[in-house]
Amino acid sequence: MMTTLVAARVSLSPGRVGAVINRNVGALRSGPSYWIVLISGFFEPLLYLLSIGVGVGALVGDLNVDGHTMSYAAFVAPAMLAVSAMSGALAETTFNFFFKLKYMKTYEAVLATPVRPFEIAVGELVWAVARGSVYTVTFLGFMVAMGLTTVAGALAAFPATVLIGLAFGAVGMWVSTLMRGWQDFDLLGTGQFAMFLFSGTFSPVQDYPVGVEILIQLTPLYHAVELVRGLCTGIVGPGIVVNIAYLAVMVVGGLWLASRRVEKMLCV
Amino acid sequence: MTTETTAVTRVGDPPRLRPVVAVVERYLTLYRRLWQASVFSSFVLPILFLISIGIGVGGYVGSVEGVDYLSWIVPGVLVSTAFQICVGESTYPVLGDFKWVRAYHAMRAAPVSPKDIVHGHLIYMIFRVELSIAAFLLVVAFFGGLHSPWALATVPVCALLTAAVVTPVTAFAATIESDSYFALLFRFVVIPATLFSGVFFPVDQLPAAIRPVAYASPVWHAVELSRAATLGRAPGWPIVVHVGYLLLWAVVGLIAARRAFARRLED
Amino acid sequence: MADQSLIHARGLVKRFGDFTAVDGIDLEVAPGEAFGFLGPNGAGKSSTMRMIGCVSTPTAGELRILGMDPVRDGTRIRARLGVCPQLDNLDPDLSVRENLTTYARYFGVSRAEARTRADELLEFVQLSDRANGKVEPLSGGMKRRLTIARAMVNDPDLVLLDEPTTGLDPQARHLVWERLFRLKQRGTTLVLTTHYMDEAEQLCDRLVVMDGGKIVAEGSPRALIENYSTAEVVELRFADGLDSNAQYAAKLDGIGDRVDPLPDRVLLYADDGDEAMAEVHRRGLTPESVLVRRSTLEDVFLHLTGRTLVD
């Protein structure tokens, strides 16, 4: 009985997942506003890269990380990329997802059709990552053009950014189902920003006191940054397995919890 | 009382205090309910930022213009925090009070003129910014980030920056219909102004062709003045130029904001 | 019988914690029927509808929709249902037509087919001229018609309508009723909830009266009125009303089948209203106003529960 229920919960029809994504494509066409937000999103990580990577980088000079010497821009760029993959997916699965869940009642209408909560979660996640990937691909293009990584490094890093998008998107979706109101988004934003500052983004985590370093290694963005930096710089150690496993658990766990919450909220 | 309510405001009338005070009070009432949430964005995050960039990255930088990187970046982060608060409070909340809450229409139905609303909002904003700035200065002083009693001059500098930023941004918010335009404002104006106005690295490092863009930004002038103040040295340009430029923004912005409010509240 | 029924329920129960919303009901809805749940707010109508719509799991009892088990075959059942919820949940990000085409995709309808159906349905609910417009500026009645069109987009075997005209003005209600009547004529099976007796009388072939999670009566509107009320009702209002209505009721005792004192009026149930009035005057009573009317489902409900439907 239990196994059939589990099977029913996670079995999904590609057509119905596609229909969930189709709704978002339709909304894109609804007006120029969404496009403006979407397209202008390109510039944000690029500006950060130029300001911190190149501007501050000129002050820093070269950096020595684990015995490898690299320019500060080459150190920061992969971290910016990981952050971009995270925020691209989160923008869709937190703010927009919450709005559709709580205010637009979009999913209430969808659940009256054959579509299941798990299919909604998967559809929204795939859409979020597809949207975020537009940014990461452009960003990787900038990085190659600026000589901050190789073409091979960019090709290896792209699937990693997809995994990061899936991981943060899935967990973000679950967190959105727990949100009480807009004020909780301030907390989420604060958490996101704190991770952005301290996940080895701007300076190596080894610089922090050991206790802080271990604490940081428990948070997700650290693993995302490590994974992308390793692939972009070509300095890959065995730790990459841990990074990937950590993110994979986020994908599976986040999706599972998110669809369960949607079911609990809307199918009572 | 009767003369007050029947009085007609003419161009050139002296500013009327009572309605402006009422507008400020309304904002303060709202702020009393929201200040806890704003502590994060206007105080905790800038401090974290300072730790991550100033101390973390600063360890690799050595010195900039003769001082350690943390001391150099403190006035920059201070001004960019004030800038963020100004923009944040003059975009969505202002458009919202026109469009969704319609609070301005409610004020207009009372004897409060569009001008009064603009002035009330600006006074409240200066209060808001100064509160965050004061808290920030205290913490930074405790960590030895201030090098001169002149640091107190950052208080009027931030007030001036607030006037220079809040007025044009509210004018913009009062003109647009869709909040999507804010995304454009953030990405093409606010973020570049934060990243390239001498907050994190000296503007001299920018390619010569781009430098004038930084000079045009009120943020750069406020950063220059604040940095001179916290380090206790004279700014690179004459103080009068910096102050005059900020004042120019404030005056033009104020005129634009009054016009935009009057036009929008006419219908 | 159960095999041909679109809805078959025995002892159906829905509990939320300690609260029992639906308290053991039996139902049987045949193809082509227009079936109604009549009851006040909180009677358990919407909870029942959500169980029938397979978005809410029954706590106890037996439920089969289209001959299938809603817990196991929810997806297959929903594929053949059309649902018009109580509160409109149209998609404001999409145009009027896109609301239909996008929804059709959830049922696996092809893009081309979805477009054809959307245009037909917009024609049917008289919204063709708004097809490319936004949803937001539509009036309440238009939105409800669009929601009804959306419920038809998969060509359902069974259409569920939860209070289809609540909150609409009289003219908009009549437009919705007229469209629903057309659906009924086409042979579509309709199941609706309402707390308006006129709506139930207009649309339903058969209905159940629900109160406190239980079914208190069942039958066609006509049969219910015949069984639980008289042909006519006389409404009497007395000048000094209020507290004394009970005393007037005592004086009216014996006229017609039944006398019901309400706070603002006294109801006199009789098969011949005029004859009853003559008797009232014979007893020397002079009400301030008199209304003789046909009996309605409201009277049935009042008789069954001692309470009015809409308060």
| A12 CA: distance to closest CA in chain B (Å) | 35
A51 min Cα distance to partner chain B (Å)? 6
CA of A8: which chain C residue's CA is closest? C72
Residues C238 and C213 in one domain: no
Which ranges of B91-210 would DSSP assign to H, the alpha helix?
92-99, 103-109, 114-142, 154-175, 180-185, 191-195
Amino acid at C287: P
Pairing of strands C81-84, C19-29: unpaired
Please provide the average confidence, as pLDDT, over all residues in chain C: 89
Which chains share 3+ C-beta pairs under 8 angstroms with B? A
Helices (H), C153-256: 170-185, 197-203, 221-228, 245-252
ipTM computed for the complex = 0.79
Q: Give chain C's end-to-end CA distance (angstroms, integer).
A: 38
In a domain, C182, yes or no: yes
d(C-alpha C243, C-alpha C253), whole Å: 17
Q: Is A32 on the interface with C (CB under 8 A)?
A: no
To which H or E segment does residue C213 belong?
Answer: none
Distance CA C290, CA C277 (A): 9
Are B49 and B77 spatial neighbours (Cβ–Cβ below 8 Å)? yes
The secondary structure of residue C265, as a DSSP letter, is -
Q: What is the DSSP code (8-state) at residue B55?
A: I
B67 - beta bridge partners?
B64
Amino acid identity, residue B190?
Answer: V
Q: β-pairing, C19-29 with B63-64? A: unpaired
Residues C258 and C153 in one domain: no
Which CATH number covers residue C284?
A: 3.30.70
Report pLDDT digits (tens) over B67-116: 999 999 999 999 999 999 999 999 999 998 998 888 898 888 888 889 99
Domain boundaries of chain A, sorted by first residue: 31-266
> What's the CA gap between C45 and C210, in Å, rounded?
7
Q: Is A12 on the interface with B (CB under 8 A)?
A: no
Flag whether C300 is in a domain: no
Query: For B41, which of A50, A56, A186 is closest by C-beta distance?
Result: A186
The secondary structure of residue C146, as a DSSP letter, is H
Same domain, yes or no: C190 and C245: no
Across the interface, which of A22, A111, A266 has its CB nearest the CB of C105? A22
Question: Does some domain include residue C260?
Answer: yes
Q: Which single residue is written with the structure tokens 């009338």?
A: B13
Q: What is the pLDDT along chain C (311 residues), one digit of tens a residue?
A: 445 799 999 999 999 999 999 999 999 999 999 999 998 888 999 999 999 999 899 999 999 999 999 989 988 999 999 999 988 889 888 899 999 999 999 998 999 999 999 999 999 999 999 999 989 899 999 999 999 999 999 999 999 999 998 888 888 889 889 989 998 998 899 999 988 888 888 899 999 999 999 999 999 998 998 888 888 899 999 887 556 788 888 888 888 888 888 888 888 999 898 888 988 888 888 888 899 988 888 888 888 887 766 55
In this complex, which of A37, A48, A194 lies closest to B48 when CB atoms are compared?
A: A194
Domain match, C121 and C253 both: no
Asked if B48's CB is within 8 angstroms of A36's CB, the reply is no
> CA of A90, closest CA in chain B: separation in Å?
16
- Could you give the strand order of the β-sheet that contains C7-16, starting from the edge strand earlier in sequence? C19-29, C7-16, C60-65
> Rounded to an integer, what distance in angstroms lies between the CA atom of residue C199 and that of residue C176?
10
Residue C77 domain-assigned (yes or no): yes
Is the distance from CB of A233 to CB of A70 less than 8 angstroms? yes
The answer to whether C108 contacts chain A (CB < 8 Å) is: yes
pTM recorded for the entire structure = 0.82
Q: Give the chain B residue whose CA is nearest to the CA of A51.
A: B195
φ/ψ bin of A237: left (φ > 0), alpha (ψ from -120 to 50), beta (otherwise): beta
Out of A51, A187, A207, the one facing B56 most closely (by C-beta) is: A207
Percent of chain A at pLDDT exceeding 90: 57
Residues C133 and C85 in one domain: yes
> Is the same domain home to C212 and C256?
no
Q: How many domains does chain C have?
A: 2
- What confidence tens digit (pLDDT) does each residue in A226-244 have? 999 999 999 999 999 999 9
CATH number at residue C157: 3.40.50.300
> How many CB contacts within 8 angstroms connect chain A with chain B?
92
**Testing the interface with A: which of B38, B45, B53, B57 to mutate, by most A Cβ within 10 A?**
B57
Of A36, A47, A48, nearest to B184 by CB-CB distance is: A36
CB contact under 8 A, B201 and A33: no
**Does the pLDDT of residue A82 top 60, yes or no?**
yes
Binned at pLDDT 50, 70 and 90, residue A2 comes out as: very low
pLDDT at C40: 84
Ranking A37-41, B151-155, B215-219, C63-67 by mean pLDDT, the lowest is A37-41
Chain A: closest CA distance from residue C145 (Å): 15
Report the gap between the CA of B35 and the closest CA in chain A (Å): 12
Domain co-membership, C29 together with C101: yes
Q: CA B172, CA B186: separation in Å to the nearest integer?
A: 12
**Is it the case that chain B and chain A have 3 or more CB pairs lying under 8 Å apart?**
yes
Quick: pLDDT tens for C227-285: 888 888 999 998 875 567 888 888 888 888 888 888 888 889 998 988 889 888 888 88
Residue ranges making up the domain that contains C106: 7-219
Do C13 and C125 fall into the same domain?
A: yes
Length of chain A: 268
Q: Are residues C129 and C258 both part of a single domain?
A: no
Residue C27, H or E segment: strand C19-29
A19 vs chain B: nearest CA distance in angstroms? 26
